[in-house]
Amino acid sequence: MSSFQDLLVIELAHIYNGPYCGLMFAHLGADVVKVEPLSGERLRGRARGDADPQEFIMLNSNKKSVALDLKSKEGHEALLGLVDAADVLIENYSPGALERMGLAPEVLLERNPRLIVASGKGYGSSGPYAAMPAMDLTVQAMSGTIATSGLSDGPPVKAGPAFTDLSGGIHLFGAAMAALYERERTGHGRLVEVSMHDTIYPMLTSALSGLYNYPDRDLPERTGNRHSGLAMAPYNVYEAADGWLAIITTADEHWTGLCRALDLEPLLEDPRFATKHLRADHMEDLDAAISAVTATLTRDAIVERLEAHRVPCAPVKGLREVDNDPHLIARGMIRYIDHPNNGRVPTVGNPLRVSPEVGTAPLTHAPTIGQDQAEVLGRILGMSAEAAERLRKP
């Protein structure tokens, strides 16, 4: 039995950022109640036909749904009733939105001093960018992600995954957990805030290091698949006979192993490649030599050779390969559910390996809008089923 089962988490959130934070709590066994507008949270709007959007299915397992019009007196009061009983409230509304509805963090904390208000924002609630509209793409642009992605002679390119949204959600979960730990000692809740934009700066460590480690060199912002600071080689994605492969050498034994695995022993005697700094200085020549060999071999053959010499490498997997990845399936990160509208579909497992008992229970599918209205409002607020259902009507 999970020790999180006694936590009531109100998820007043939409799209990816807040819902992923809520999913972490749901995986650990917390009672996560998703409070949605009467028409459903915004991610539901991506549905085509009768099928539910896969992105909503993937981020909302093991949650319950209550639909409330927070602009109405009845819906507003119902939410505050849930707040009175809650341990955590997750929100990622735009700055000022909750305040305009009379639900500012200080109002919520005054009602429930033990509450943790976990606020996910694009740029935070302070600073010059605070009022800017924020989505994953715009935060990637403002954070330097797009400027540093792509080839040196090409245009800037966004990262494929919506990682700023998810990074914000992961950090928000950590902040909420830290506040819950503090509450055990003080008895008091607090507001915690995470800016998606803030979480990306430390991820630029390698790229920013180029500014300071090589102040006299004119380094490109975009380095393709090479090291962001151009301080390491071999470090690249190399073409194979049937695809692509990533290879990185961080230690001299990796370099030696690579040369022996790919029959490139003469490079070990080449003065251009004698040290890691020289290899970085001559990475164009080095990559050309490696590519000449990898292009003649399959991905599997290269991996087999390099792994025999303990050289870090990996095939570049396509989405269809990832969708059926045996490692992710074996670890329970890809889990399958029977969805009433979509049939058998994959969903997101729990990456937090707390213990064998936590996060491995059967998953429930993402709820329909207001699916748990009567049960949640009846159990927590003592509301009749009829009164609870009336709140779902405009």
**Candidate list 31, 165, 198, 372, residue with the active-site label:** 165
C-beta of residue 258 within 8 angstroms of C-beta of residue 306: yes
> For tokens 């159990």, what's the residue?
379
Contacts 24+ apart (CB under 8 A), 46-51: 50/341, 51/341, 51/342
DSSP secondary-structure letter at 51? B
Cα–Cα dist 250/276, whole Å: 9
Structure tokens at 151: 């080839």
Strand order through the sheet with 243-248 = 235-240, 243-248, 313-315
Q: Which phi and psi (to 5°) does residue 123 adopt?
A: -125, 10
How many angstroms from the chain centroid is the CA of residue 117?
Answer: 20
In angstroms, what is the C-alpha Rg of the chain? 25
Q: Residue 362 and residue 63: Cα distance in Å, rounded? A: 13
Whole-angstrom distance, CA of residue 67 vs CA of residue 259: 61
Judged by DSSP in three states, 186 sits in helix
Q: In what order do the strands lie in the sheet with 88-91?
A: 63-67, 31-36, 8-12, 88-91, 116-121, 190-195
> What CA–CA distances, in Å, run from 249 to 86, 111, 261, 296?
49, 56, 13, 21
- 3-state secondary structure (DSSP) of residue 127: coil
338 is catalytic: no
Residue numbers annotated as active site: 165
